[in-house]
């Protein structure tokens, strides 16, 4: 199927879409055009060690100190099997694994990795790992023999999927390039005083070009002339035969031009309609993501089992795509429409597994539970699309539901009862929004008046529509 990479550079953000057969399958957004720090390598200074949680805070020269677990760090620093005990003031080399979020600083790792197009170099290790997506055993053995011969000393290597089928000369060239890069970093470690940046990961646009641009990609299209030149120069250095795939298109709104905006809007909705009339519903919680499938408007033919199977197959294909677009990570539970036939269940699982193979992020389908739910996991690689573009609702605090007016009214009444029966206060001023006040004044002759007569005390309401239904203030007077 034709696959394109569309890079839409705007004033406040750069968006990158991967399009398969005219459908958006991956989306990357650099908000406010801020540079990312994930992948950057720093020489940092240990500022504080917290034995209680076995972690250390490291000054990287950024706004916030980074965070790293002691066990990982001390094992990396060990010599001859003897674990070196870390102390405050030590200088260490670390790489940012996750961006800083809110008040939290970036998460760090001491397991350094330098990615190339075909391999990832792992300094100070000695293993060779080959992508599971290279399934041909003969090709795996060929690659293993190449890397056993040319792997640099004291460095491990992860062989990426794109390395499959590549000539030995091309592979050796990248090994030499990444080795030189690591040697340059090691030299800087010796004479540059910490905290300091030793290696800067390329921008998202360049990273996507490096990782995804291949013979399978039809076009890499960008609407910014400067970025276009930067990407061309970068690819010319690492994969010159792919340079012709990079194109510049003078179009201000590239995502609109390629009809991507509507697909992003769809990816932000809770309900996703299927072509057949069926529907999937995606709900996120702190612990996991739940996806429900139902027939909705699709009634199909007279054979109910075929209707259900068709809906579930279509849902499996769309779910795999939505997971990629939304960058959903962690535990995922899918509730397909109940299928009585074992063969039908296997068919749907096979469709889901095949569609998930297109995902570059590691996913694992664990099977069907006794309740008929499909369990799967997907590696977390950054914020999901919804967390990136949406803020938590200040009214419901992310619960998606709000207490009824009656519930809040009853709650206020209980507080009134306690104040008037257990304290010496004879007057209450309640500041609330219009809906709450109207509820108290709309109960028969007046709920407010009935309460005043019951306690023989005064209740005054003042309107403040900046307050939500759950917010109210009670002022007590004698």
Residue 296: what pLDDT?
73
Angle between helices 168-191 and 137-150 (to 10 degrees): 40
Over residues 450-462, mean pLDDT: 87
Let me know if residue 188 belongs to a domain: no
Give the domain CATH number at 349: 3.40.630
Residue 215: what pLDDT?
85
Residue 79: what pLDDT?
52
The sheet with strand 119-123 has its strands ordered as 114-115, 119-123, 155-159, 128-130
Percent of the chain with pLDDT over 90: 33
Give the domain CATH number at 20: 3.30.420.60
Do 7 and 86 lie in a common domain?
A: no
Over residues 451-474, mean pLDDT: 87
Tally DSSP H helices, then E strands, for the chain. Answer: 13, 24
Distance, CA of 370 to chain centre: 30
Let me know if residue 396 belongs to a domain: no
Over residues 283-307, mean pLDDT: 80
The top-scoring range by mean pLDDT among 35-39, 303-307, 314-318, 360-364 is: 314-318
Distance, CA of 426 to chain centre: 55
Do 298 and 385 lie in a common domain?
A: yes
Range of the structural domain that residue 290 is part of: 269-389
Residue 328: what pLDDT?
92
Task: Select from 77, 96, 111 the last residue of a domain.
Answer: 111
Do 417 and 316 lie in a common domain?
A: no
Residue 80: what pLDDT?
45
Let me know if residue 145 belongs to a domain: no
Task: Select from 267, 291, 314 the last residue of a domain.
Answer: 267
Q: In the structure, what pLDDT confidence band is assigned to residue 444 with cuts at 50, 70 and 90? A: low
pLDDT in tens, 140-189: 999 999 998 898 888 999 999 888 888 888 889 889 989 999 999 988 88
Give the domain CATH number at 450: 3.40.1260.20
Round to whole Å and give the CA distance between 18 and 3.
Answer: 7
Going by C-alpha positions, the residue among 251, 222, 223, 249 that lies closest to residue 235 is: 222
Let me know if residue 52 belongs to a domain: yes
How do 114-115 and 119-123 pair as beta strands? antiparallel
pLDDT in tens, 221-274: 999 999 999 999 988 888 888 899 999 998 888 998 999 988 988 888 889 998
Give the domain CATH number at 48: 2.40.50.140
Q: In the structure, what pLDDT confidence band is assigned to residue 45 with cuts at 50, 70 and 90? A: very high
Identify the bridge partners of residue 279 per DSSP, sorted by sequence position: 273, 294
Do 310 and 379 lie in a common domain?
A: yes
Do 357 and 279 lie in a common domain?
A: yes
Do 301 and 378 lie in a common domain?
A: yes
Do 354 and 262 lie in a common domain?
A: no
Least confident of 30-34, 339-343, 364-368, 438-442: 30-34
Q: Give buried/exposed letters for 155-168 (b at 16+ CB in 10 A, else e).
A: bbbbbbebbbebee
Question: How many domains does one find in the chain?
Answer: 4
Do 66 and 26 lie in a common domain?
A: no
Do 314 and 334 lie in a common domain?
A: yes
Using the predicted structure, report yes or no on whether residue 86 has a pLDDT greater than 60.
yes
Using the predicted structure, report yes or no on whether residue 120 has a pLDDT greater than 50.
yes
> Tokens for 122?
């792992």
Over residues 411-420, mean pLDDT: 89
Contact 185, 198 (CB under 8 A): yes
Task: Select from 339, 355, 389 the last residue of a domain.
Answer: 389
Do 319 and 329 lie in a common domain?
A: yes
Let me know if residue 292 belongs to a domain: yes
Do 52 and 97 lie in a common domain?
A: yes
Let me know if residue 424 belongs to a domain: yes
Over residues 383-408, mean pLDDT: 78
Which ranges of 400-467 does DSSP label H, i.e. alpha helix? 405-422, 434-441, 447-455
Round to whole Å and give the CA distance between 305 and 368.
Answer: 19
Percent of the chain with pLDDT over 70: 94
Let me know if residue 190 belongs to a domain: no
Do 354 and 420 lie in a common domain?
A: no
């Amino acid at each position: 199927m034709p696959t394109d990479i569309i890079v839409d550079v705007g004033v406040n953000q750069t968006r990158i879409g991967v399009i398969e057969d005219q459908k958006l399958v991956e989306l990357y957004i650099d908000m406010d055009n801020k540079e990312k720090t994930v992948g950057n390598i720093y020489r940092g200074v240990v500022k504080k060690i917290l034995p209680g949680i076995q972690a250390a805070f490291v000054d990287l020269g950024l706004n916030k100190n980074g965070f790293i677990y002691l066990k990982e760090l001390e094992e990396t620093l060990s010599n001859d099997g003897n674990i070196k005990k870390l102390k405050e003031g030590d200088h260490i080399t670390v790489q940012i694994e996750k961006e800083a979020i809110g008040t939290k600083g970036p998460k760090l790792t001491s397991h350094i990795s330098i990615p190339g197009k075909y391999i990832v170099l792992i300094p100070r290790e000695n293993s060779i790992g080959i992508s599971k997506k290279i399934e041909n055993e003969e090709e795996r053995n060929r690659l293993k023999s190449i890397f056993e011969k040319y792997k640099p000393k004291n460095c491990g290597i992860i062989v990426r999927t794109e390395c499959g089928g590549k000539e030995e000369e091309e592979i050796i060239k990248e090994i030499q390039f990444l080795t030189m890069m690591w040697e340059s970093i090691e030299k800087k470690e010796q004479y540059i005083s910490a905290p300091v940046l030793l290696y800067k990961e390329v921008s998202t646009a360049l990273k996507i070009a490096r990782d995804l641009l291949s013979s399978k990609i039809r076009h890499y299209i960008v609407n910014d002339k400067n970025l276009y030149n930067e990407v061309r120069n970068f690819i010319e250095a690492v994969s010159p035969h792919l340079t012709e795939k990079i194109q510049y298109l003078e179009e201000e709104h590239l995502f609109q031009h390629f009809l991507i905006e509507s697909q992003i809007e769809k990816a932000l909705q809770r309900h996703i309609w299927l072509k057949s009339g069926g529907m999937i519903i995606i709900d996120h919680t702190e612990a996991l993501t739940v996806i429900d499938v139902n027939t909705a408007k699709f009634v199909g033919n007279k054979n109910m089992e075929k209707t259900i199977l068709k809906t579930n197959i279509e849902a499996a294909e769309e779910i795999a795509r939505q997971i990629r677009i939304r960058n959903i990570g962690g535990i995922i539970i899918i509730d397909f429409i109940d299928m009585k036939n074992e063969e039908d269940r296997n068919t749907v699982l096979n469709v889901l597994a095949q569609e998930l193979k297109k995902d570059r992020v590691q996913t694992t389908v664990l099977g069907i539970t006794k309740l008929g739910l499909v369990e799967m996991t997907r590696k977390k690689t950054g914020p999901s699309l919804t967390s990136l573009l949406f803020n938590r609702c200040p009214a419901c605090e992310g619960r998606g539901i709000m207490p009824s007016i009656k519930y809040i009214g009853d709650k206020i009444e209980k507080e009134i009862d306690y104040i008037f029966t257990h304290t010496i206060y004879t007057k209450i001023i309640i500041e609330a929004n219009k809906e709450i006040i109207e509820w108290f004044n709309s109960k028969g002759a007046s709920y407010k008046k009935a309460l005043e007569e019951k306690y023989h005390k005064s209740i005054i309401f003042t309107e403040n529509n900046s307050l939500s239904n759950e917010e109210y203030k009670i002022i007590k007077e004698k």
